[in-house]
């Protein structure tokens, strides 16, 4: 049965969180970004991924707000933020976040990104290192030239079996999202089945992402404009890979949190070519959507990692 209840607004969702969170907007780098902020302390910026919104951090925001002035951002093209025709390469989006950090009154911030937000966080650190005190990436590597060789077909019987058995293992949507125009035709007004498929294949505990959250994400991506914008993050990956090749390895500390199914691959991907100080930590009991499936572990790891550099570095706090 179709659920016809209205989806809460971002302001209503922000107000529902413990920690005095507020929903606001900032025009930076020529784009209007929606963000939700609460708590006090050193600034922490959270960057999410596809196909979600800032709400994917709902389970970690209240606890992080006890220590940080924490801001969860809808990226360019996401949720309540603008969805322009272009600018989805991560260098441009990194400029968005660099300017947002300044707009919020900070010289620099701790940054944590999941999925697309992880790649964006890395490009932010590479292009604007003075803006990032430490970086945490969650269950995604940084697209490099090895991603250009991802096979069109499942590369092994294990990958094929994983798809058939309802497990992850083959990112077919990387190719699907490259197609211009067709995803909008197929998915506009019908995005919920894709939400459920992705969670069905990449969560270890289905109950960790509740019905209301799935409704919120489906609503956020249900229009042609939103589908086109989200797909833009994937369609620029070749440019992102080319841009990556122009940077030396990042020197600031990086923590990579990996779900059980991604740990081995991320240990290989987040090597010395990406940074001089990287540690990769497996999050037991989690698939891809780590902040929703194992929020306590995410909070624990972020507090410990960012706590190693807790002294103020200047600017507003």
The lowest-confidence range among 33-37, 123-127, 160-164, 201-205 is: 160-164
pLDDT in tens, 85-111: 999 999 999 999 999 999 999 999 999
Mean pLDDT across the stretch 57-74? Answer: 98
Angle between helical axes of 211-220 and 192-202 (0-180°, round to 10):
130
**Is residue 43 situated within a structural domain?**
yes
98: left (phi over 0), alpha (psi -120 to 50) or beta: alpha
Model confidence at 154, pLDDT cuts 50, 70, 90, reads confident
The arithmetic mean of pLDDT across residues 292-303, rounded, is 98
pLDDT digits (tens, 9 = 90+) for 207-230: 999 999 999 999 999 999 999 999
**pLDDT tens digits for 178-195?**
999 999 999 999 999 999
Q: What is the pLDDT of residues 155-165, one digit of tens each?
A: 888 878 877 77
Task: Determine the pLDDT at residue 158.
Answer: 82
pLDDT at 264: 93
- Asked whether residue 39 is domain-assigned, the answer is yes
Note the pLDDT of residue 309: 87
- Report if residue 4 sits inside a domain: no
Query: What is the pLDDT at residue 2?
Result: 61
pLDDT tops 50 at residue 315: no
Containing 237, the helix (H) or strand (E) segment is: helix 237-244
Q: Residue 96 domain-assigned?
A: yes
Q: What percent of the chain has pLDDT over 90?
A: 87
Whether 317 is covered by a domain: the verdict is no
| Tokens 């994983």 -> residue | 162
Which domain range does residue 202 map to? 11-307
Residue 144 clears pLDDT 80, i.e. is over it: yes
Q: What's residue 129's pLDDT? A: 98
> Using one digit for the tens of pLDDT, what is the confidence trace for 242-297?
999 999 999 999 999 999 989 999 999 999 999 999 999 999 999 999 999 999 99
Residue 217 lies in a domain: yes
Q: State the Cα torsion 57-225-214-56 to the nearest 10°.
A: -10
pLDDT for the residue 317: 29
CATH at residue 224: 3.40.50.1820
Q: In the chain, pLDDT over 70 holds for what percent of residues? A: 96
Number of domains in the chain: 1
pLDDT at 314 over 50: no
In a domain, residue 163? The reply is: yes
Strand ranges across the sheet with 278-283: 22-28, 31-38, 68-73, 42-47, 109-114, 132-138, 254-259, 278-283
The H or E element that residue 69 is part of is strand 68-73
pLDDT mean across residues, the chain: 94
In a domain, 220, yes or no: yes
């Amino acid at each position: 049965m179709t659920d016809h209840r209205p989806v809460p607004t971002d302001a209503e969702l922000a107000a529902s969180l413990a920690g005095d969170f507020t929903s606001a907007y900032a025009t930076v780098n020529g784009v209007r970004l929606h963000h939700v902020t609460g708590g006090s302390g050193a600034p922490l910026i959270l960057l999410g991924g596809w196909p979600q919104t800032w709400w994917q951090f709902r389970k970690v925001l209240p606890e992080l707000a006890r220590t940080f002035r924490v801001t969860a951002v809808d990226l360019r093209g996401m949720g309540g933020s603008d969805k322009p025709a272009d600018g989805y390469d991560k260098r441009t989006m990194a400029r968005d976040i660099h300017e947002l950090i300044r707009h919020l009154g900070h010289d620099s911030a701790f940054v944590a990104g999941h999925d697309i937000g992880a790649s964006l966080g890395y490009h932010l650190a590479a292009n604007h290192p003075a803006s990032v005190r430490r970086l945490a990436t969650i269950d995604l590597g940084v697209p490099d030239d090895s991603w250009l060789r991802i096979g069109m077909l499942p590369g092994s019987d294990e990958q094929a079996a994983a798809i058939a058995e309802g497990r992850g293992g083959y990112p077919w949507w990387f190719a699907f999202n490259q197609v211009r125009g067709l995803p909008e035709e197929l998915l506009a007004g019908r995005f919920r089945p894709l939400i459920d498929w992705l969670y069905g294949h990449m969560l270890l505990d289905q109950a960790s992402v509740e019905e209301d959250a799935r409704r919120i994400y489906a609503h956020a991506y249900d229009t042609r404009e939103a589908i086109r914008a989200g797909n833009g993050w994937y369609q620029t990956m070749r440019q992102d890979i080319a841009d990556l090749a122009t940077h030396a390895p990042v020197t600031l500390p990086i923590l990579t949190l990996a779900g059980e199914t991604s740990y081995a691959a991320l240990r290989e991907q987040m090597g010395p070519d990406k940074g001089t100080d990287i540690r990769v930590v497996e999050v037991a009991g989690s698939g891809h959507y780590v902040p929703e499936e194992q929020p306590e572990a995410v909070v624990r790891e972020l507090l410990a990692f960012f706590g190693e550099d807790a002294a103020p570095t200047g600017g507003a706090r």
